[in-house]
Amino acid sequence: MATERTFSILKPDATKRNLTGAVNAVIEKAGLRIVGQRRIQMSKAQAEKFYEVHAARPFFGELVEFMISGPVVVQVLEGENAIAKYREVMGATNPAQADEGTIRKTFSESVGENTVHGSDSAENAKLEIAQFFQDSDIAG
Ligand code: ADP
Ligand code: MG
Residue 37 pLDDT > 70: yes
Alpha-carbon span 27 to 21, nearest angstrom = 10
Q: Read off the pTM.
A: 0.98
Taking only the tens place, the pLDDT of each residue in 76-129 is 999 999 999 999 999 999 999 999 999 999 999 999 999 999 999 999 999 999
> Separation of 87 CA from ligand 2 center, angstroms?
10
User: Does the annotation mark 117 as catalytic?
Assistant: yes
CA distance to 74, 87, 128, per residue, from 79 (Å): 17, 13, 17
Could you tell me what percent of the chain has a pLDDT over 90? 98
Residue nearest to atom 5 of ligand 1 (CA): 93
Nearest of 33, 49, 18 to residue 89 by alpha carbon: 33
Residue nearest to atom 8 of ligand 1 (CA): 93
